[in-house]
């Protein structure tokens, strides 16, 4: 293992390791949920969509007997299905009920919070501008709470396209895993069109997303290369690459595994920044540090911008059970 050293080494090869990085409370809870479901009910356990957007997590759980499906219609009558951490629309819940499926909801409580905001503003007959990425599962679940009130704002062009009924009854809400800076740009553009637009009652971009962006920003300008461990379909992981580049990193790449690092990226590089998305087990980061140490990057300095202490209770359906309290895919 590489040496962990707080001392600043002038010049030479070094790694700056972001903290916080990796698993957030919602991901840890969702992975434990699936593990407990397997423990209590035995295989197969069905999971609608990827429980979290990480290849390693999904492959590991699949080996243990999880069957990932795209829709609940693929689950046999009476089967047990877990809803992923990204949340589902009421239509998905209804379909599962109609097919007599047993369900466990692993939606992150911070995603559920946004669903509740949508319901509240829809009840008050607001037009809701949901800032988020088209086609992302979280956005589909959130807008599905009140499709007739929600309009998706992804790009700058979308700001021009949206239509409202009453300028005093417009609110913006957002996906939890967006770039904080890019979202504020979109809000400014919306506010230019709709000066009376209301803000969300509290931040929708969650603590984990914003903390990981703050940490990568703190080190990016010192880095010749920032390696972000995370999967291609992970919104928050992708955002870390963009934030690193915007904050001054000379180069940045998203990788699932150390084996995906192209040695050419390291040409002329002294300082390598390392971080990981909220769905990434830290073992993958440790493997990357090992890989880098074998190529001379032995000096690892942690850059800490926050200490996270948040954890969430397990879904109601599992709470009475004692046992696993930390996920084993870490
Ligand atoms: O693509 P995302 O970043 O939304 O998902 P992820 O599974 O990579 O990370 C966890 C984030 C969740 C569940 C959405 N809030
Ligand atoms: Fe919850 Fe945020 Fe993690 Fe998403 S990224 S699961 S909202 S804590």
For residue 328, what pLDDT is reported? 77
Secondary structure (3-state) at 150: strand
The model's pLDDT over 171-188, given as tens digits with 9 standing for 90+, comes to: 999 999 999 999 999 999
Name the percent of the chain lying above pLDDT 70.
Answer: 95
> 174 CB less than 6 Å from ligand 2?
no
Active-site entry in 35, 138, 140, 317 = 138
Cα–Cα nearest to 18, from 329, 300, 325, 312? 300
DSSP for 263-298 reads GGGGTT--EEEEEE-TT--HHHHHHHHHHHHTTT--
For residue 320, what pLDDT is reported? 66
For residue 11, what pLDDT is reported? 54
For residue 326, what pLDDT is reported? 67
Tokens 């980061």, residue located: 285
In this structure, are strands 66-69 and 271-276 parallel, antiparallel, or unpaired?
unpaired
138 is catalytic: yes
The model's pLDDT over 273-283, given as tens digits with 9 standing for 90+, comes to: 999 999 999 99
Which stretches of the chain drop beneath a pLDDT of 50?
Answer: 1-10, 322-324
Pocket probe mutation, ligand 2, options 20, 23, 27, max atoms within 8 Å of Cβ: 27
For residue 327, what pLDDT is reported? 75
């Amino acid at each position: 293992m590489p040496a962990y050293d707080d001392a600043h080494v002038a010049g030479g090869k070094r790694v700056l390791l972001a903290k916080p990085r990796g698993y957030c409370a919602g991901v840890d809870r969702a992975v434990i949920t699936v593990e407990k479901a397997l423990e209590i009910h035995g295989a197969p356990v069905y999971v609608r969509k990827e429980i979290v957007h990480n290849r390693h997590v999904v492959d590991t759980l699949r080996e243990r007997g999880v069957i990932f499906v795209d829709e609940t219609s693929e689950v046999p009558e009476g089967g047990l299905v877990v809803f992923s951490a990204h949340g589902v629309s009421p239509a998905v819940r209804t379909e599962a009920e109609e097919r007599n499926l047993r369900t466990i909801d692993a939606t992150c409580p911070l995603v559920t919070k946004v669903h509740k905001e949508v319901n509240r503003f829809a009840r008050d007959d607001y037009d809701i501008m949901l800032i988020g990425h088209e086609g992302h599962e979280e956005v589909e679940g959130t807008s599905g709470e009140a499709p007739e009130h929600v309009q998706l704002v992804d790009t700058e062009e979308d700001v021009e396209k949206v239509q409202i009924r009453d300028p005093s009854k417009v609110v913006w809400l957002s996906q939890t895993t967006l770039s904080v800076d890019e979202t504020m740009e979109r809000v400014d553009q919306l506010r230019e069109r709709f000066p009376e637009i209301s803000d969300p009652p509290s931040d929708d971009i969650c603590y984990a997303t914003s903390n990981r962006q703050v940490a990568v920003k703190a080190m990016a300008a010192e880095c010749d290369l920032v390696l972000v461990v995370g999967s291609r379909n992970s919104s928050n992981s992708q955002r870390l690459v963009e934030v690193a580049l915007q904050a001054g990193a000379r180069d940045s790449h998203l990788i699932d595994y150390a084996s995906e690092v192209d040695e050419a990226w390291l040409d002329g590089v002294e300082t390598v920044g390392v971080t990981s998305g909220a769905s990434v087990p830290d073992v993958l980061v440790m493997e990357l540090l090992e890989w880098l140490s074998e190529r001379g990057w032995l000096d690892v300095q942690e850059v800490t911008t926050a200490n996270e202490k948040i954890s969430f209770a397990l879904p109601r359906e599992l709470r009475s059970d004692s046992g696993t309290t930390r996920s084993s895919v870490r």
